[in-house]
Amino acid sequence: MSDQLRPRSKRSKQISPIARHGRLKRSNAFANVAKVLAAALAVVMVSGVSVAALATLNVASSIKEGVVLDNETDGPIPQIDSIDGGANLLLVGSDSRVGQGDGYGDPEVETAVLNDVTMLMHIAEDHSSATVISFPRDTFVAIPECTGPEGETYSAMSSQKINTTLNYGGLSCTVSTVEALTGLSIPYASLIQFNGVAAMSEAVGGVPVCIAEPIVDEHTDLDLAAGEHELKGLEALQFLRTRYGVGDGSDLGRISNQQVFLSSLVRTLKSAETLSDPIKLYSIAKAAVDNMELSTSLQSMDTMVSIAMALKDIPLEKVVFVQYPVNYVDGGVAPDEIAAADLIEDINNDVSPTLAPGEADFTSVGPVEEPVDPAAPVDPAAPVDPAATEGALSSNVFGQDASELTCSAGRALENQ
């Protein structure tokens, strides 16, 4: 399988952070007021508050018929206020080319519809933090018995890749699988395709990203020089989809790359330039509902607004993006059960995850306006502040928070 993960030559048991973020100085220029891919999660949730006051009826009229989840029950629609308690929401990105137009591959080619992006957002009960967990698409998991789009029942399977669940039983089956894997209840879910990601990055006006080393990927036609780029439309989608162009060419490198983009997206959405522009806010919400399939629990605009209200005041440093911990196995990856248990315990206890300090194979770069020097590695002998490691998760849990300005590093063409 050409899209299969390949074991690393030097590290077979533990996975390294592959996109090699370089940490930049924090900026205080972003307003700390009112998640993607992958981009859609932050767009819908953070922008919904202001949009509701502008065009609730217009946006709501665009919402497609909802997907019924196995765990949904009838109940009162939340009022336009912060949602009561915590919440879990799953964002699924489909690789289907059907109806997506040119630029994403041949729509006539018969392929399985896979969920190449599966991201879970957890909002703490006291609304003090939010954690977004990315599940590597080639993770072998047990798929429980689940209900399909037409109410049909699918039998359980003991071990399949998580990205087959969308093709197997639809969005509801993907939700049930993540619930079984994590033990978390997920009452809200949404599905997005290629056009949706491109449309929402356009609506937000572009997302600034830092490139430490050039990213060239002939598979997605992406070609980005080192420096800062404002990504939107097709180019934003190419950046989110590239895997051959970053890290070791695996899906894990792609997840790390997506975290760079999503962190910047959150900063953009929470900036005064976005919040003070009603046309931009309306465009974001309209692009979201026009291009997403929602669970019936998210059909109500009031529900979207209530979730957004819970998110709007969370500090950037408390919006944390992490990769679900895995180890390489034959043909894919498998959950690192010990590290995963610690991560889920933090989620259950509403503790914002503390990540272990970065390793020496991260690339250290300066601010983007200075020349990028990818040859300056972090000194592995540098002292580590004990306070930074206290309560930290396993070093096999990689990610960043939204306040950290990080850079993506490309993978040379000769290594692809």
151, with CB counted inside 10 A (0-12, 13-18, 19+), is: exposed
The verdict on residue 186 lying in a domain is yes
pLDDT digits (tens, 9 = 90+) for 337-349: 999 999 999 999 9
Please give the structure tokens belonging to residue 105: 């591959």
CA distance 238 to 233: 9
Q: Is the pLDDT of residue 170 over 50?
A: yes
Within a domain: 53: yes
Asked whether residue 11 is assigned to any structural domain, the reply reads no
Tens digit of each residue's pLDDT (9 = 90 or more) over 360-385? 233 323 333 343 343 333 343 444 44
Of 11-15, 79-83, 164-168, 252-256, give the lowest mean pLDDT range: 11-15
Q: Given pLDDT bands bounded at 50, 70 and 90, which one contains residue 101?
A: low
pLDDT band at 84 (very low <50, low <70, confident <90, very high): confident
Q: Is the pLDDT of residue 195 over 60?
A: yes
Closest CA to 27 of 367, 373, 378: 367
**Could you list the residue range(s) of the whole structural domain that residue 111 is in?**
22-415
Question: Is 250 a member of any domain?
Answer: yes
Residue 62: predicted pLDDT: 58
- Write down the pLDDT at residue 354: 92
Tell me, yes or no, whether 16 lies in a domain: no
| CATH number, position 195 | 3.40.630.190
Q: How many CA atoms lie within 13 A of 117 on its CB side?
A: 35
Total domains, the chain = 1
Can you tell me the mean pLDDT for 131-150? 94
**pTM higher than the cut 0.85:** no
Let me know if residue 3 belongs to a domain.
no
Burial degree of 402 (CB within 10 A; 0-12, 13-18, 19+): buried
Does 14 map to a domain?
Answer: no
What's at 160, amino acid-wise? Q
Inform me whether the pLDDT recorded for 45 exceeds 80: no
Q: Specify if 308 maps to a domain.
A: yes
Of 2-16, 42-56, 172-186, 369-383, the range with the lowest mean pLDDT is: 2-16
| Residue of 14 and 247 predicted with greater confidence | 247
